[in-house]
């Protein structure tokens, strides 16, 4: 089953991250300041891809640190080998590995693995979501002013930062609390687990959200663009994710941005 391979691949990547967490990392920038890539990202992705390609040699692996195979193939794996790179590079224990398998453009399974806590979040389409085998369900919070919300931006572009500052002000005036922890795949898993209620971020790549989106939806939540439209699998797009109960209210609130 592909979910077992996804779990094995995520754990392989996680082992690399835990082994390297006290090593001197090679750190490069993808932009002027905010978007990092480290030697741990690269080695984790190699370990993940090796597990997937051993099990399914003809499948493509599309990851933040490169692609193996044909990304237009029927079977595509979306991989973020280290989601929360800046946290990891600074020794903050909020990071994860994200692995998702899509078949003919549709999600089949997804795994988010938090190696620091050894927490494995897993979902299969139509079969629910679990944390270490225990079924997950989103929270029962049904009002935005009772919700704990995550809003994030990773950019050094002044225009993007101004837009984000406006979003932060809007949400701080509407929600119970606002957080900016990084690691969006893990954030989505935590909404699925009922520990957070919502998450907003612009311009997310498929490897950032593919596994987390399936976890969330299988746990009863909802993910759309800022305008409420569906986000097509494999696309880059703006993301609003919630427990479902506050989704429409949050979308109405975001209309002011």
Residue (of 61, 8, 17, 14) closest to 39 by Cα position? 17
Tell me which of 3.40.190.80, 3.40.50.300, 3.30.465.10, 1.10.10.1100 is the CATH number of domain 144-254.
3.40.190.80
The two tokens of residue 170 are: 């809007």
Per DSSP bridges, beta strands 134-135 and 177-179 are unpaired
**pLDDT recorded at residue 34:** 56
Query: How sure is the predictor about 32, in pLDDT bands with cuts at 50, 70 and 90?
Result: low
> Using CA atoms, how far apart are residues 31 and 87, in angstroms rounded to an integer?
17
The two tokens of residue 28 are: 């490069």
Whether 193 contacts 218, CB under 8 Å: no
Q: Which residue has the higher pLDDT, 105 or 31?
A: 105
DSSP secondary structure letters along 15-49: HHHHHHTTS---EEESSSSS-EEEHHHHHHHHHHH
Whether 87 contacts 34, CB under 8 Å: no
- Name the percent of the chain in helix, strand, coil, to the closest 5: 35, 30, 35
> Using CA atoms, how far apart are residues 90 and 126, in angstroms rounded to an integer?
38
> Going by C-beta distance under 8 Å and a sequence separation of 6 or more, which residues neighbour residue 159?
none
> Using CA atoms, how far apart are residues 72 and 65, in angstroms rounded to an integer?
18
Domain over 2-135 is classified CATH 3.30.540.10: yes
- Residue found under tokens 């995520």: 10
Q: Give the CA dihedral 211, 216, 220, 225, nearest 10 degrees.
A: -100
State the average pLDDT over residues 41-57.
Answer: 95
Q: Residue 177: pLDDT above 90?
A: yes
> Going by C-beta distance under 8 Å and a sequence separation of 6 or more, which residues neighbour residue 46?
none
The two tokens of residue 4 are: 């077992």
- Would you tell me how many other CB atoms lie within 10 Å of the CB of residue 72? 9
63-104 tens-digit pLDDT: 988 888 888 889 999 999 999 999 999 999 999 999 999 999
Instruction: Name the residue ranges covered by the structural domains of the chain.
Output: 2-135, 144-254
Percentage of the residues of the chain whose pLDDT score is greater than 70: 96
Q: Residue 138 gets which letter from DSSP?
A: -
Beta bridge mates, 28: 37
- Would you tell me how many other CB atoms lie within 10 Å of the CB of residue 236? 14
State the average pLDDT over residues 234-245.
Answer: 93
């Amino acid at each position: 089953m592909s979910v077992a391979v996804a779990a094995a691949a995520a754990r392989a990547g996680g082992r690399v991250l835990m082994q390297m967490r006290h090593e001197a990392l090679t750190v490069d920038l993808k932009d002027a300041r905010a978007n990092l890539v480290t030697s741990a990202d690269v080695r984790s992705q190699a370990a993940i891809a090796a597990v997937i390609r051993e099990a399914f040699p003809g499948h493509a692996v599309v990851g933040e640190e490169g692609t193996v195979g044909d990304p237009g193939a029927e079977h595509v794996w979306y991989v973020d080998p280290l989601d929360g790179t800046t946290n990891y590079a600074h020794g903050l224990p909020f990071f994860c590995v994200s692995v998702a398998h899509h078949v003919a453009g549709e999600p089949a399974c997804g795994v988010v693995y938090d190696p620091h806590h050894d927490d494995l979040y897993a979902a299969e389409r139509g079969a629910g979501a679990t944390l270490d085998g225990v079924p997950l369900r989103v929270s029962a919070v049904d009002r935005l002013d009772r919700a704990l919300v995550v809003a994030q931006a990773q950019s050094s572009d002044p225009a993007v930062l101004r837009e984000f500052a406006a979003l932060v002000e809007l949400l701080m005036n509407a929600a119970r609390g606002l957080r900016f922890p990084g690691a969006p795949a893990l954030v989505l898993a935590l909404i699925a687990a009922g520990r957070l209620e919502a998450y907003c971020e612009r311009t997310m790549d498929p490897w950032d959200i593919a596994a987390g989106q399936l976890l969330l939806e299988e746990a009863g939540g909802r993910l759309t663009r800022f305008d409420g439209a569906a986000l097509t699998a494999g696309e880059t797009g703006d993301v609003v994710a919630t427990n479902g109960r506050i989704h429409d209210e949050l979308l109405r609130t975001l209309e002011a941005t």
